[in-house]
Amino acid sequence: MTEPVENDPAADLKRQVGVAAAALVEDGMVVGLGTGSTANYVIDSLGERWATGLRFVAIPSSERSAARAKALGIEIVGFGSHPVIDLNIDGADEIQRGTLNLIKGLGGALLREKIVAAASNRMVVVADESKLVQRLGEHAAVPVEVSPFGWESTARQLGEMGARVAPRHDRMGRLFVTDGGNMILDCALGQLEDPAATEVAIRAIVGVFECGLFIGRASLALVAGKTGVERYEVG
């Protein structure tokens, strides 16, 4: 089960939306498993359904999510045997109303999360209501996954775009390292007028592997608030 998180007022909301998203999974599906606190509740809810007889296979976006799913008995597979994902369920740091464009990557797995999203027929994003924004960048910086070699140069070029760039550190104060051995630069860009153009510009910089702008990826958002779980769809 999901560990309790101290001083997390959204924990119950995350639990509600995790249960709602897990209910979308059907027998025989290939399911993408996201990374982060809300995704953990999804995985735990799927583990409960697995224990009662639901059968599917999963492709997790991080080693942490894979370990959590395996501990619950969920079968883990790879893209070699299952190149297309039926349903990808993942969290978000910001969700733009209307478009369902996203900022993701606070959990440190944005490159793998975008690979999973790109291979999916359908992406459902799960969050609590605090993640809804009118414009991306209202509260969250844009995470950018970069090569450790020359990251200072990459950071300088991101700064020339107008970003306030901060290399991410782990809890021990060391530079954060992703599952793929890369670094993350958190880039505060303010509210984005054209997120799609910003994504293209960031990805054009040499040394950048991927950025946390997920444009046109999600088709449904399940958002938990005081009145329950609301559905938001594109358009």
Angle between helices 63-71 and 37-51 (to 10 degrees): 30
Q: Give the residue numbers marked as catalytic.
A: 113
Assess contact for 86 and 121: CB atoms under 8 A: yes
Among candidate residues 57, 223, 212, the one with its CA nearest the CA of residue 124 = 223
Triad 50, 44, 98: Cα angle to 5°: 110
The tokens for 46 are 């799927």
